[in-house]
Structure 1
Amino acid sequence: MKILLIEDDPFIARALCAALENEAHTVLWAPSGPEGLEAVKSGSPEAVLLDLGLPGMDGIDVLKSIRAMPSPLCDLPVIVVTAREALESRLEGLDAGADDYVLKPFHTSELLARLRAVMRRKGPIAGEVLRSGRLALNTVTHECTVGGSSVTLSKREYALLAALLVRPGAILSRRALEDKLYAPGDEPEGNAVEYLIHALRRKIGSGFIENIRGLGWRIRKESA
């Protein structure tokens, strides 16, 4: 899923971008209100994470401007992410059209859960499902199915499978997969990727993920 983050604090922005990309999302970052509105129009995001204390234009005004845009932009899911904890500020954000409101500081797992909940309420989005034959992965709800049967994945199993399914047939090296799975500074164990792939094969079947000796792994291209 493509997410637009409108946040002026670069430290918070980098941390959020890393957390979201670790969940196989694509992130656009805008550090000011006007840049955020331009990114809504030109970047085709599927959801917006919006700070309120922004340079150039307050977040509430950004939110009101989004809701005043023509369809489908006016219906973009927007989660306000801010340090303004006063009840009046929360009510103002919700009244202006926010789908949810998360107070700083927060745990990224809570934000991701709220994002998934908002996306489920908004309904399905075109292009949200990655597929290869009988294997399908919903990038909003994180649901994995094989032949229509649901499979429960861990966070890193999901991220690894999503990375491979973005381009079925393309080979990803160990380093490329580690970059998708771990935040900067994290040191994965030497066999972490192999362990995850082994766990995935036990859940989805052994035939989907192919090892290309000396190069890496890929999802076999299969017709539905």
Structure 2
Amino acid sequence: MKILLIEDDLDLGNGVRIALTEQGMDVVWVRTLDDASRSLDSDGCDLVLLDLGLPDGDGLQLLARLRRNRAQGDAAVGLPVLILSARDSVNDRLSGLDGGADDYLVKPFVLAELLSRVRALARRSYGFDGETIEIRGLSLHAPTRRVSVGGRATDLTASEYALLKMLMMRADRVLTRRVLEEQTLPGSQTNASNSLDVHMANLRRKIGDGYIRTVRGVGYVIDLQVPGGAP
């Protein structure tokens, strides 16, 4: 799971980064709204940990932008956001939650509680419990790299597994061809587009129809629920 940590405090940010990394999570740590926006635009993530009092503005500004984008149907659809803030009044918490945050944790907090809340958000958002992702009968067990469809094991190549895991981890969000190529097919820059098409065709053949949906001119997505009338 890729987490974007937006926290300007050096000690707290480093402590959270280390704790999440030790749990096997991929953490990108930034300290300003500007850097957070650039990271979201270029790389994306699976979950955001958002401080509110940042050097170049209020974290609620970024939250509002994410939720506006969600309403417009872009790749931020369903992106979980957990606010980390020293603002501890009821009104502050309500403002954050009503503004679109999925959870709100008041500083100072115990790292064990943060990790528990991150896992809970991952389960609610992606059906991911830290080991297994399950979407409509399609199951991926991360520690063993086992994939099954309707209980039947399916053998995948390393590239097919990487593609499937990324799509499942970011279910309900369209991943562009460029992102999939750069993050799952390293070393294929010369014929990346053709390589992606070949791997995607093989992956679809192995897991069956109805899981990976093509968004023409953009990329691919696995929907948490079957979209009505979608090809």
Please give the range of the TM-score, normalised by the shorter of the 2 chains: 0.5 to 0.7
Residue of 73, 77, 81 corresponding to 2:76: 73
Cross-structure match for 1:54: 54
Distance 1:94 1:147 in 2: 37
Cross-structure match for 1:108: 111
Cross-structure match for 1:157: none
Q: Shift in Å at residue 147 of structure 1?
A: 8.8
User: Where in structure 2 are the equivalents of 1:25-64 lying within 5 Å?
Assistant: 25-64=25-64
Distance 1:9 1:101 in 2: 18
The code of the aligned residue for 1:58 comes to: D
The higher-RCO structure (CA 8 Å, 6+ apart) is: 1
Please tell me whether the aligned partners of residues 68 and 74 of structure 1 are also in contact (alpha carbons under 8 angstroms).
Answer: no
Distance 1:42 1:124 in 2: 25
CA spacing shift, 1:138–1:84, aligned 2, 3 Å: farther
Q: Shift in Å at residue 20 of structure 1?
A: 0.4
Distance 1:2 1:65 in 2: 20
TM-score after normalising by structure 1:
0.56
Aligned residues: 142
Residue of 99, 122, 125 corresponding to 2:125: 122
CA spacing shift, 1:80–1:146, aligned 2, 3 Å: same
CA spacing shift, 1:147–1:41, aligned 2, 3 Å: closer
Distance 2:68 2:113 in 1: 29
Deviation beyond 2 Å, 4+ runs, structure 1: 136-139, 143-148
Distance 2:77 2:126 in 1: 15
Q: C-alpha deviations, 1:36-61, integer Å up to 9, x for none?
A: 12211112210000000011120111
Matched residue SS, 1:73: coil
Give the superposed CA RMSD. Answer: 3.2
Cross-structure match for 2:209: none
Distance 1:88 1:147 in 2: 46
Cross-structure match for 1:203: none
Please tell me whether the aligned partners of residues 5 and 28 of structure 1 are also in contact (alpha carbons under 8 angstroms).
Answer: yes
TM-score after normalising by structure 2:
0.54
Matched residue SS, 2:54: coil
User: Where in structure 2 are the equivalents of 1:170-189 lying within 5 Å?
Assistant: none
Indicate yes or no: 2:87 matched with 1:89: no
Distance 1:112 1:13 in 2: 14
The code of the aligned residue for 2:117 comes to: R
Residue segments in structure 2 that go unaligned for 5+ positions in a row = 134-139, 150-157, 162-231
Percent pairwise identity: 39
User: Where in structure 2 are the equivalents of 1:94-173 lying within 5 Å?
Assistant: 94-124=97-127, 137-138=141-142
The code of the aligned residue for 2:55 comes to: P
Distance 2:18 2:148 in 1: 32
Cross-structure match for 2:187: none
Matched residue SS, 1:50: strand
Distance 1:62 1:12 in 2: 20
Distance 2:8 2:95 in 1: 20
CA spacing shift, 1:138–1:81, aligned 2, 3 Å: farther
The code of the aligned residue for 2:39 comes to: A
Q: Shift in Å at residue 146 of structure 1?
A: 10
The code of the aligned residue for 1:41 comes to: D
Distance 2:103 2:36 in 1: 18
